[in-house]
Chain A
Amino acid sequence: MKKTCLISIAILLLATVPPAQAAKCKYEINSVDKFTKVKTQKTKWASLDPWSVIIGSDSYLVAAISADLNAGSKTLGLQLIRQQSSSYRPRDYELRDVIVVPEGARLLILMADDTIVELPALHEVRASAGYAASNGQQTEFEIKTVAEINFALDESDVEALMKQEAKRIRVEAEDHNYDVFIAEALRDNFQWALGCIQ
């Protein structure tokens, strides 16, 4: 009984303390080049929402961010995962270029005070989908597209993103605006990620 209580309290504490203070920085890459002494950091992906419905389609979207530091310059990574199901095996043309973000396309971040931080995409991204049968009869298929986009950050952007929480983002892709409402408990993840690259 005591053990259960302790575990419950621990879970409660973990869930309520902001990640920037609670979670230690976690990295995909955290290294210093032995020869050049150049520091490279990339945080682990931090989720922005568990599931968003893409309005006007039968797709779902999962979004996560990471902050990157490379030779003193900072960028923001955004991962969009679009998932949909199909009652037939998807054709090749349905899998090609599902998410296309042109170079310079904007990531708009709506902050808590309704100001907007605007970041341009560093490179064009064309993400194609993969699929797998979700049942043995091969009558249901899961289609998944993962796009990873890097956005430029200058010092004023970092300052604006560190100052307050973010509540919503929009990626202006080629044919579609991807809107993500950031879950209440995850709204300080920008601060967490950017705080981890120094």
Chain B
Amino acid sequence: MKNLISLLTTASILLAGPVTANASECKFVINEVDPFTGKLMVTTAWEPLKSGMSEIVGQAFGDLSDISAAAVREGEQDYLALKLKLSDTTGSRPSDDDLQYAVSVPEGAGLWVVMGDQTTVQLFTDKAVRGITKAKKDGAILVSDGRYLVKSTVIIRYALDAAAREALTQQSATGLRLNLRNRKFEFGYERGHIDFGIHEKSVGDISAIIGCLE
């Protein structure tokens, strides 16, 4: 954990002040009372998080090419959703199983959010998810060594209770650690995690989108 904090501290600028979302900047994909359940349903637009520095522990995960965040409210329950795009290459044609189980996140998997004052907020998934993985032989780049490019997208939703929501809106998040499970081609399953340092330009984005739920 100390390593994580030091990595993220070097990668990010620490901002300790509270962050408030400007309502006019909030963009919503859904913002309505569900006529069937009577619950307020809110989903903000995906906010791409710029990377300060990222380190993937567990060689199975390849590279993290993109990470975005959104806030979700379903009635009384709030969530922080993260969308990850991962890419990897493999020397042999990946099997259906390789692709089907390439990236998965078990129910209860944790996310640690490192805040500006170096405290952490821990969140958990409320259900297991599996990434959508596509493979293609990329003629332009990879034909020379015959490797297959494999791209995965996974959307993970972490439950937010009142304390977590308050902690995340009181100050800016500077880093994330996501626990995942991966199927390494040829080598079976592997657990690992991704440490993601949030770039100074994106520090405050998570607080801001969660603020959009208010």
Q: Which A residues fall within an 8 A CB radius of B?
A: 55-56, 87-88, 91-93, 108, 110, 114, 116, 168, 170
Contacts and interface: CB of A to CB of B under 8 A. Distances in A.
6 contacts: A56-B29, A87-B136, A88-B136, A91-B100, A93-B96, A93-B99
Contact of B36 (A88, A92, A110): A110
Interface string B11-34: 000000000000000000110000
Given A91-B99, A93-B99, A168 B30 contact: no
A59 to B, nearest CB: 12
Interface in B93-116: 96, 99-100
Given A110-B35, A114-B35, A168-B35, A91 B96 contact: yes
Q: Can you list the 6 inter-chain pairs with the closest CB atoms, starting with the nearest?
A: A93-B100, A108-B36, A91-B96, A93-B96, A110-B35, A88-B136
B201 interface: no
B39 to A, nearest CB: 12
Contacts of B35: 110, 114, 116, 168
| Interface-centre pick from B36, B96, B99, B134 (highest chain A CB count, 10 A) | B36
Contact of A55 (B29, B100, B135): B29
A88 B30 contact: no
Given A56-B29, A88-B136, A93-B100, 14 more contacts: A55-B29, A55-B30, A87-B136, A88-B134, A88-B135, A91-B100, A93-B96, A93-B99, A108-B36, A110-B35, A110-B36, A114-B35, A116-B35, A168-B35
Contacts of A87: 136
Nearest to A172: B36
Interface in B21-75: 29-30, 35-36
Contacts of A110: 35-36
B136 A116 contact: no
Interface string B131-161: 0001110000000000000000000000000
Interface residues of B, number: 10
Nearest to B29: A55
A138 to B, nearest CB: 13
Contacts of A55: 29-30
B102 to A, nearest CB: 11
Contacts of A116: 35-36
Nearest to B35: A110
A8 B30 CA distance: 40
A105 B135 CA distance: 35
A170 B96 contact: no
A114 B35 CA distance: 7
A114 B29 CA distance: 23
B158 to A, nearest CB: 17
B30 A92 contact: no
A137 to B, nearest CB: 13
Contacts of A170: 36
Contacts of A114: 35
B124 to A, nearest CB: 20
A175 to B, nearest CB: 10
B96 A92 contact: yes
Contacts of B29: 55-56
A108 B29 CA distance: 23
A114 B33 CA distance: 12
